[in-house]
Amino acid sequence: MGMTITEKILAAHSGNDHVKPGDLLQADVDMALANDITAPLAIKVFEEIGRDSVFNQDRIALVPDHFVPNKDIPSAHQAKMMRDFANKYAIKNYFEVGQMGVEHVILPEKGLVIPGDLVIGADSHTCTYGALGAFSTGVGSTDLGVIMATGKVWLKVPPTIKVIFEGEFQPWVCGKDLILYLLGVLGVEGANYCALEFTGPAVRKLTMDQRMTMSNMAIECGAKNGIFEADDITLNYVKERSARKPLVVKADPDARYEKEIHIDVSRIQPQVAFPHSPDNVRPVSEGRDVKIDQVFIGSCTNGRLEDLKIAAGLMKGKSVAKGVRVIVLPGSPLIYKEAIREGIIETFIDAGATIGPPSCGPCLGGHLGILAAGERCASTSNRNFIGRMGDPKSEVYLVSPAVAAASAVLGRIGSPDEI
């Protein structure tokens, strides 16, 4: 029996010719990742295990992005703990303030993940790298601490759900709308313990930035990973960034899928996930009565150059609506620099937005834009749980960069067609 992309990568990393859903295996990790919130607990676990060195100092990435630049004294202590650990064990891929950005933006940008890799991160959005044709999934800090010591991880082979996107895109529809729509179809638990394989003519046209948005949110329906087959778009992206040889993994024609979901993209308009769940999805036209206080453009979901370009293109020559605060956080220093060079940052500032340092910022209610009780935010991020971005009585609406920009100008949830 044939194998899916996920099964093939797991087999190749565990010394097996063939694996099937339900198999437990011990896999070799190509890249292990942690951030300033999850690393401190992982470091404690690593020290408890008592090894003298990490499994491979080139294959661990530590990115301070959640509460950095340090938001308070306890955060400063946690960031220091990670920095000291990186120095002590000569971790090559530690990104200090100035080099750091959102972890899942930084790793692909630096060429640290390529097709065929197996990446494990102590962050649930580690599934982002499925966009590169890699198997990647999130774990907790204990798993990560053990991986830093051994380079190995125990995994159960997940059944794969194949999602086939077909048809032509409506105006302003992008990867974010596709994944939000799929979350609405599957529900927040619809792919629990499963792999998602994104395929079909509609997504083969998508840029890497948009594919990363889609893979990033696979976790929001409980999926272990969300993977694309690597193609020319992937290989062109990777060859400028990594000297390693990519391994393009394709599903066998007789691969077995848990189920197949067909989505006609031409029927999808820009989507909005209403509070308080990423699967509470409705078309943008149903959001017209929702007045907003804040717009956040950024995060591991939508903080990449194309995202900023789309939003700025819509806001050019326009002003942010009175009473609305617009916060833009470029996902990395490189993106920030390129956005300056292309005039994107100037457009945002002229429109009345503020620009913050590359980091996770308000997405998880850390800092740089926390909401008060009763406030509403249109956000390009990935979660709108109760209290996610601040006060438990605040509300988050998940949208694409285009809808975020339109909403910023309108002062309410709205479509780019309205401005």
Which residue number, 66 or 304, has a Cβ lying nearer to other proteins? Answer: 66
Q: Please give the angle made by the CA atoms of 349, 303 and 310, to the nearest 5 degrees.
A: 60
Which residues does residue 35 pair with via DSSP β-bridges, in sequence order?
A: 63
CB 401 within 8 A of CB 297: yes
- Indicate the residue among 2 and 74 with the shorter CB distance to other proteins: 74
Pick from 302, 277, 272: nearest CA to 288: 272
Question: Closer to other proteins at the Cβ: 99 or 124?
Answer: 124
Rg, the chain, Cα only: 20
Q: Is 152 helix (H, G, I), strand (E, B) or coil?
A: strand
Show the binding pattern over residues 214-243: x = contacts other proteins (CB under 8 A), - = does not: -----x--x-x-------------------
Contact region with other proteins (CB under 8 A), list: 72-80, 109-117, 265-273, 307-315:
72-80
- Give the number of residues in contact with other proteins, rule: CB under 8 A: 50
Q: What is the largest CA-CA distance in the chain?
A: 61
Does 185 help bind other proteins (rule: CB under 8 A)?
no
Could you say whether residue 14 binds other proteins (CB under 8 A)?
A: no
If one asks whether residue 189 binds other proteins (CB under 8 A), the answer comes out as yes
For other proteins, the closer CB: 49 or 90: 49
CB atoms within 10 A of CB 51: 12
The answer to whether 329 and 307 are in contact (CB under 8 A) is: no
- The reply to whether 16 sits near other proteins by the rule CB under 8 A is no
Residues 78, 213, 347, 380: which binds other proteins (CB under 8 A)? Answer: 78
Q: Considering only residues 301 through 340, tell me which ones interact with other proteins, judged by CB under 8 A.
A: none
Query: Does residue 184 belong to the site contacting other proteins (CB under 8 A)?
Result: no
- Can you tell me which residue has the tokens 């599934």? 127
Based on the shown chain and the rule CB under 8 A, indicate whether residue 45 belongs to the binding site for other proteins: yes
Among 16, 23, 28, 41, binds other proteins (CB under 8 A): 41
Answer yes or no: are the C-beta atoms of 119 and 135 closer than 8 Å: yes
Angstrom distances, CA of residue 141 to CA of 33, 61, 121: 10, 14, 9
Residue 296 CA to residue 323 CA, distance in Å, equals: 14
Residues that bind other proteins (CB under 8 A): 24, 37-38, 40-41, 44-45, 48-50, 66-67, 71-72, 74-75, 78, 122-124, 126, 138-143, 145-146, 149-150, 154, 156, 188-189, 192-193, 219, 222, 224, 277, 364-366, 383, 385-388, 392
